[in-house]
């Protein structure tokens, strides 16, 4: 099952040359999930071949402009392009007021249902549970209400050892039970243990998206052992004071978090526009957590 994330924007607050405000497109089993939608996200989607028609779920972390100012434009294009199927939007409640006002004064009635689920920045909640994935909110510690999101793959059924089943002539109608872990009893009463007939499926993977937030241990438990952690790293650690005032994280702190929660890989992003190049931020994070990558525009990372 495909599980990968493409970065559409890596900048905080304001766009700068070659870096756009935050947005990411997650491909889960060929379904697209858009996380945050900063200004210019539509252009980035065109650039990196992310088709709006394939997006059914959009997640907005909070109402600072660098995370949602591209959304009304995207909704408007979906409308103009004749979208009919529902779009599911997960966001702070006030975003509905903002969208409604924009639609009202442009006298637009969307041609497709826009289904809202409001996030709660005080409490983690499961907001999506489908065949592929369970998605929970992560309450973060920012200047205004803000939630991250964690995407957990579901555990797959066990895999059949086909040669073994053929050798024992096990009828096909038992396969589903075997995949679920049942033993097999043959017509002469011999019991074959399930683990001699099947192998365990791969361990489910998880992707955690944490932006924007102060370093705060309150959300660490929830993101423990994730496969890939995306964490904002707005500043170098020599600007820790600024990070504390603005409720952001430094590259060093992001790496400390990845180490503490035992992530396999760390992606850092949401870089301050003051940094023209990002090598120093990467080096700082890698000094603590070597498996760190820059979450920059156009890069795709497999969650594995």
Contacting residues toward Zn ion, per CB under 5 A: 12, 64, 66, 212
Quick one: residue 225, left, alpha or beta (phi over 0 = left, psi -120 to 50 = alpha)?
left
| Cβ(121)–Cβ(148) below 8 Å | no
Nearest to Zn ion of 147, 227 (CB atom): 147
Which of 68/289 has CB closer to Zn ion?
A: 68
From the CB of 15, what's the least distance to Zn ion, in Å? 12
- SS3 label, residue 164: helix
Beta bridge partners of 235: 250
Q: Please report, for the chain, how many H helices and E strands are present, in that order.
A: 8, 18
Residue nearest to Zn ion (CB): 64
Provide the minimum distance between the beta carbon of 229 and Zn ion in the complex, in angstroms, as a whole number: 17
Determine contact, residues 24/5, Cβ cutoff 8 Å.
yes
Active site residue 212: no
Q: Which is nearer to Zn ion, 66 or 297 (CB)?
A: 66
CB of 135 to Zn ion, least distance (A): 20
Phi, psi of 90 (to 5 degrees): -115, 120
Residue 94 host element (H or E): helix 94-105
Question: Cβ of residue 222: shortest distance to Zn ion, in angstroms?
Answer: 20
Nearer of residues 64 and 265 to Zn ion, judged by Cβ: 64
Count CB neighbours of 85 within 10 A. Answer: 9
CB within 8 Å of 293: residues ≥ 6 apart: 265, 266, 267, 268, 282, 299, 301
> Is the Cβ of residue 122 or residue 188 nearer to Zn ion in the bound state?
122
Query: Measured from the CB of residue 34, what is the shortest distance to Zn ion in angstroms?
Result: 16
Q: What is the radius of gyration, based on Cα positions, of the chain? A: 22
Catalytic residue among 66, 141, 195, 241: 66
Query: Residues with catalytic annotation?
Result: 66
């Amino acid at each position: 099952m495909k599980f990968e994330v493409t970065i559409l924007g890596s900048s905080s607050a304001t766009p700068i040359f070659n870096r756009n405000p935050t947005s990411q497109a997650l491909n889960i089993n060929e379904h697209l999930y858009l996380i945050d939608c900063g200004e210019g996200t539509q252009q980035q989607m065109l650039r990196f071949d992310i088709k709006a028609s394939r997006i059914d779920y959009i997640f907005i972390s909070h109402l600072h402009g660098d995370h949602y100012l591209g959304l009304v434009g995207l909704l408007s294009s979906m409308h103009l392009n004749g979208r009919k199927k529902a779009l599911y939007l997960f966001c702070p409640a006030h975003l509905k007021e903002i969208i409604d006002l924009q639609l009202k004064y442009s006298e637009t009635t969307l041609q497709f249902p826009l289904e809202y689920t409001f996030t709660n920045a005080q409490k983690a909640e499961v907001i999506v549970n489908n065949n592929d994935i369970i998605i929970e909110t992560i309450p973060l510690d920012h200047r205004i209400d803000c939630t991250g999101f964690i995407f957990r793959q579901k555990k797959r059924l066990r895999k059949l050892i086909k040669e073994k089943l053929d050798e024992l002539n096990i009828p096909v109608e038992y396969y589903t039970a075997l995949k679920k872990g049942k033993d097999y009893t043959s017509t002469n009463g011999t019991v074959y243990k399930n683990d001699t007939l099947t192998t365990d499926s791969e361990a489910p993977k998880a992707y955690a998206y944490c932006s924007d937030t102060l370093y705060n241990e309150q959300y660490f438990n929830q993101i423990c052992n994730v496969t890939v952690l995306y964490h904002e790293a707005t500043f170098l650690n020599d600007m820790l004071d600024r990070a504390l005032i603005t409720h952001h994280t430094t590259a060093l702190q992001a790496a400390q978090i990845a180490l503490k929660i035992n992530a396999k890989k760390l992606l850092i992003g949401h870089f301050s526009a003051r940094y023209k190049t990002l090598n120093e931020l990467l080096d700082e994070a890698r000094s603590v957590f070597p498996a760190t990558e820059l979450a920059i525009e156009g890069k795709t990372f497999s969650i594995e």
